[in-house]
Amino acid sequence: MQSTRLEVIAGQGGELATLDHEAESLAMRWLLAYGSPRTQEAYRAALSRFAAFLSEHEAGQVLTATRTHLDAWARSMQAEQLKPASIAANLASVSSFYAFAVSCDAIKGNPCEKVRRPKVSDMSTRLGLTLETARKVVAAAEEMSPLHRAATGLMLFGGLRVSEACRVMPADIGEELGHTVLRVQGKGGKLGKVVMPPAAMRLLAEALEDARAQGCPVLHDAQGGALDRFQLRRAINAIGRKSQLGRPLTPHDLRHGCATVALEVGEPIERVQDHLRHASPITTQRYNRNRGRLDFSAAYGIGRGLAS
């Protein structure tokens, strides 16, 4: 089984750039720890970038690299004007590889552990959706196909990620204690439950009925085939054009909008965190467009409390 999975991982991206045999073998086993192909792809790309950097500067191999090499790589990424989040993600990926190498006794210590990573803003750089623009998206989707309506229901109301939305089957939606609940498999294979409000189920109704009849995913093409993330992205882009937002609409804008709308209508952040299945409220807070607005200052609540 392990050798088969290694072959699959290798087949997804070929050999890792400029890695020697020992490092490549170790990297393949490292990637086995991550079930998501997209995570494997991102981690593979980061390690390949660092290996290519070492090769370009004739600085040796990945397993003999030092902190000095990694500091130099970080500075080179800054010189290339990569975003701080991208630099931090690349360094975190390579650090994960080295931590795995240490655990396998391939090296004595993690040279990336103490490398300084750029500070990443705790505010999302995405525009997302406000309550007003989210209403425009819903209104546009309601005039479109069952696919467009269902995608909006799952991602704007349910806050699903692209991969999660593409996998939803009719059997994943059921009743629990009087609530309509969607069971999803999220990041890292974690199972979760998402409450679907009546408004979302109305958007899902036609696509869901068709999916039950055909025995296919809720988001499907005309032949009943499952959508991939590229097809879903095109469908969401079409909703954005009809909404006349003045900018492209992406799948993550809908998940982002799920958070911003919930916070804008006054839902407590811990409830929004649970709904989006975020591990930390810090992640949820990045979507809060009301942060910093003077009319949302806690000072007014304090004043009302003390004056009463």
Euclidean distance between CA atoms 74 and 95, whole angstroms: 12
In this prediction, residue 104 carries a pLDDT of 93
Lowest-confidence pick of 102-116, 229-243, 271-285: 271-285
pLDDT above 60 (res 12):
no
Tell me the pLDDT of the chain averaged across its residues.
Answer: 84
In this prediction, residue 291 carries a pLDDT of 61
Confidence of residue 243 (pLDDT cuts 50, 70, 90): very high
Euclidean distance between CA atoms 111 and 73, whole angstroms: 12
In this prediction, residue 73 carries a pLDDT of 95
Euclidean distance between CA atoms 106 and 109, whole angstroms: 9
In this prediction, residue 39 carries a pLDDT of 81
Euclidean distance between CA atoms 306 and 308, whole angstroms: 6
pLDDT above 90 (res 139):
yes
In this prediction, residue 222 carries a pLDDT of 83
Q: Which residue has the higher pLDDT, 192 or 50?
A: 50
Confidence of residue 76 (pLDDT cuts 50, 70, 90): very high
pLDDT above 70 (res 17):
no
β-bridge partners, 160:
none
Euclidean distance between CA atoms 135 and 127, whole angstroms: 15
In this prediction, residue 294 carries a pLDDT of 64
Residue 138 token pair: 């819903």
Lowest-confidence pick of 100-104, 173-177, 225-229, 302-306: 302-306
- pLDDT tens digit string along 198-238? 999 999 999 999 999 999 999 998 888 888 889 999 999 99
Q: In order of start, what are the domains of the chain with their CATH numbers?
A: 2-103 (no CATH), 131-293 (1.10.443.10)
Q: Which pTM value belongs to this model?
A: 0.64
β-bridge partners, 193:
183
Q: How many residues does the chain have?
A: 308
